[in-house]
Chains A and B, each alone.
Chain A
């Protein structure tokens, strides 16, 4: 890829993200999944923890934001290709010169950015209605963690989307994949509370490292080494995910053109 193409694809990716957000603002299911559901989780958790200190509230705010990120990844990013197929736009997207991965990356960026709104909503909720005085312990490291988390989530989503297109039986497990990751990745409570045998499973989930980095920089002054190791793991997973995704997209795009499944009609 030459520099000119890289600039062009970068620009295209942001246009895709912008148009996806405009389109999704009119979709009530997506608004529920990425905005209201995390808010409901935050209200329940904040109510349960109302007698605890504000560091718990911050944990809930960040945790509920992460639940929004994961739900968005699973339902919006995972379905991003299938949704285009159902609406008859997939042929038009595959038929353009822009690589399809760039388009899906832009769409995933949109859904992940949208879901970050749920974190802001939870923050406002905790501050206004529950009276917590919230502050982020390490703001700069938190922003870095957030950026890397977004990247890691999007990269992970790029693997899920082609798998959902090629193997419908996997997609049937979509709902069942939502809550176990909330728990295994330590979004709402530390994984130390879970049985020891689940720990290796948590370690191979990119959302777990995102939770470590975000919780560690928001609610506690986590040592720099711990934060950097979580960043490193997210970067490693993202690179691996992007490599796998690149191969999966080639396989998928060939398969759908052989099987004639670009359109549902």
Chain B
């Protein structure tokens, strides 16, 4: 039996618009996705904003009803047996909300332990253990409102682990954390993986997915466009090289011109204050550089580097170079 089974899942949101002449607008967040996650696997969901990652996680966590399709956690249907599913899962949604800020961390944990039906005697031992696990030892009696964002995120992890769930949903858990906090958080995730937890992780950070995930599903516009191991996904771009070109204020029409060149497979633009980093994927490698320079004639160009593709490049290619 798989830990997570998703079959033809679809979710449509309906919004009423207009004041006098009202109409219902439908937005398809998840078109049709299917995947399975084995027990003990760390499975990644990657995709741009609005791709349907959070909606998928919320359906699996019993917080949204799917419009169509089915999903099961450890064999329990997420709609028909939501109560049973909730005993076996834990979830974190990125951000600072979802805690009682006027209570201490210990009180927050004691509260949720009770809601998860944990025996009070077990909670007494487990709460200090979890606070130590997430690096909050000695800070448990402080009110949460005085915590940094990273501390709140780590408290979320402790809350999620109170009932020792078999399946964890981590939705962009490192978003907004400083580099040190994010690194510590990734170590917590690795520790959980070593405890044989099944983890479904959504993230924007490719290196994070590359370093942590056993398999990754790339999701775009509500459909899965690729599902493979990080190495397998990189093979999608093994025939390509990446030319990184640093420019200073290149206008959009010039970027569009580059994108239209026949040898350019995909192009991602990263804005860096006054500069842009253009990442051009091409099968021509270094040979493409003179033609790229010609297309950038008249623009101020800085560093130019040709390198091997990474998971991020595979992702860019899969979601159509719109990063």
To the question of whether A and B form a pair in one complex, the answer is yes
Contacting A94 at CB < 8 Å: which of B63, B107, B114?
B63
CA distance A25 to B89 in the complex (A): 32
A172 at the interface (CB under 8 A from B): no
Considering the complex, which residues of chain A in the window 102-129 have a beta carbon less than 8 Å from any beta carbon of chain B? 103
Closest to A91 in B: B63
Complex partner residue of A97 from B64, B65, B117, CB under 8 angstroms: B117
Find out whether the CB atom of B116 lies under 8 angstroms from the CB atom of A96.
Answer: yes
Say yes or no: A26 contacts B114, CB within 8 Å: no
Is B115 a contact of A103 with CB atoms below 8 Å?
yes
Binary A-proximity of B14-26 (CB < 8 A = 1, otherwise 0): 1000000000000
List residues of chain B with CB within 8 A of the CB of A176: none
Asked if A89 is an interface residue, CB under 8 A from chain B, the answer is: yes
Q: Is the CB of A260 within 8 A of B64?
A: yes
List residues of B (81-129) whose CB comes within 8 Å of A's CBs.
83, 86-87, 89, 91, 93, 95, 97-103, 107, 110-112, 114-117, 120
Total number of B residues with any Cβ neighbor in A under 8 Å: 32
Interface size of A in residues (CB-CB distance below 8 Å): 31
Contact with B along A1-25 (1 / 0, CB 8 A): 0000000100110011001001100
Q: Is A191 at the interface (CB under 8 A from chain B)?
A: no
Docked complex Cα distance between A118 and B33 (Å): 56
Chain B hits for A262, CB < 8 A: 63-64
Q: Is A265 an interface residue (CB 8 A)?
A: yes
Q: Does A254 contact B (CB under 8 A)?
A: yes
- Known contacts A11-B120, A260-B13: does B115 contact A96 (CB below 8 Å)? yes
Q: Please determine whether B107 and A19 come into contact, CB atoms closer than 8 angstroms.
A: yes
- The answer to the question of A258 belonging to the interface, with a C-beta cut-off of 8 Å to chain B, is yes
Enumerate chain B residues within 8 angstroms of A92, measured Cβ to Cβ: 98, 112, 159
> Is A22's CB under 8 angstroms from B103's CB?
yes
Contact A93 B115 (CB under 8 A): yes
Q: Are B117 and A98 in contact (CB under 8 A)?
A: yes
Q: List, in ascending order, chain B residues with CB within 8 A of A259's CB.
A: 14
State which of A19, A91, A97 has its C-beta within 8 Å of the C-beta of B98: A91
B153 interfacial contact with A, CB 8 Å: no
1/0 contact trace for B56-91 toward A, CB 8 Å? Answer: 001001111100000000000000000100110101
Tell me whether A180 is interfacial, beta carbon within 8 Å: no
Choose one: B63, B103, B114; the contact of A257 (CB below 8 Å): B63
Q: Which residues of A contact B116 (CB under 8 A)?
A: 96-98
Closest to B114 in A: A15
Asked if B65 and A91 sit within 8 Å, CB to CB, the answer is no
Q: How far is the CB of A71 from chain B (nearest CB, A)?
A: 21
- With A12-B114, A88-B98, A97-B116 known to touch, is A19 a contact of B103 (CB < 8 Å)? yes
Q: Which of B64, B102, B115 contacts A26 (CB 8 A)?
A: B102
Q: Cβ of A95 and Cβ of B117 under 8 Å apart?
A: no
Q: Check if A257 sits within 8 Å of B65, measured CB to CB.
A: yes
CA A22 to CA B83, docked complex, whole Å? 28
Chain A residues positioned under 8 Å from B93 (CB to CB): 91
A87 at the interface (CB under 8 A from B): yes
Which A15-40 residues sit within 8 Å CB-CB of chain B? Answer: 15-16, 19, 22-23, 26-27
Looking at the complex, which one of A11, A23, A254 makes contact with B102 (CB distance below 8 Å)?
Answer: A23
Q: Which of A8, A11, A16, A257 gathers most chain B CB within 10 Å? A: A257
- A96 with B120, Cβ < 8 A, contacts A11-B114, A88-B98, A254-B65 known: no
| Chain B neighbourhood of A258, CB < 8 A | 65
Q: Which of A230-262 contact B (CB under 8 A)?
A: 254, 257-260, 262
Residues from chain A with Cβ under 8 Å of B115 in the complex: 12, 16, 93, 96-98, 103
Closest to B93 in A: A91
Are A96 and B110 CB-contacts (below 8 A) given A89-B98, A91-B93? no
Tell me the residues in window 206-238 of chain A with beta carbons closer than 8 Å to chain B beta carbons.
Answer: none
- CB < 8 Å neighbour of A23 from B65, B97, B100, B110: B100
Q: Hey, which chain B residues are within 8 Å of A16, CB to CB?
A: 111, 114-115
**Shortest beta-carbon distance from B258 to chain A in Å:** 37
Take A23-B100, A92-B112, A97-B83 as given contacts and tell me if A257 and B107 are in contact as well, using a CB distance cutoff of 8 Å: no
Contact of A95 among B62, B100, B101 (CB under 8 A): B62
Whole-angstrom distance between the alpha carbons of A254 and B65 in the complex? 8
- Chain A residues within an 8 Å CB radius of B58: 91, 260
Q: Which of B14, B65, B86, B97 is within 8 Å of A265, CB to CB?
A: B97
- Given A95-B62, A257-B65, A19 and B117 contact (CB-CB distance below 8 Å): no
Query: Contact: A15 with B64, CB < 8 Å?
Result: no
Q: Which residues of chain B are within 8 angstroms of A88 by Cβ–Cβ distance? A: 95, 97-98
Complex-state Cα separation, A99 to B86, whole angstroms: 11
CA distance A95 to B87 in the complex (A): 9
Decide: A23 near B64, CB < 8 A? Known: A8-B117, A16-B111. no
CA distance A217 to B14 in the complex (A): 54
On whether the beta carbons of B64 and A19 are closer than 8 Å, the reply is: no
The interface residues of chain B lying within 8 Å CB-to-CB of A91 are 58, 63, 93, 98
21 contacts between A and B (CB under 8 A): A11-B114, A12-B117, A15-B111, A19-B110, A22-B102, A22-B103, A23-B103, A26-B102, A88-B95, A89-B100, A91-B58, A91-B93, A92-B112, A95-B61, A95-B89, A95-B91, A96-B116, A97-B115, A254-B65, A258-B65, A260-B13
Known: A15-B110, A98-B117. 16 other contacts (CB 8 A): A11-B120, A12-B117, A15-B111, A23-B103, A89-B100, A92-B112, A96-B86, A96-B115, A98-B115, A103-B115, A254-B65, A257-B63, A260-B58, A260-B64, A262-B63, A262-B64
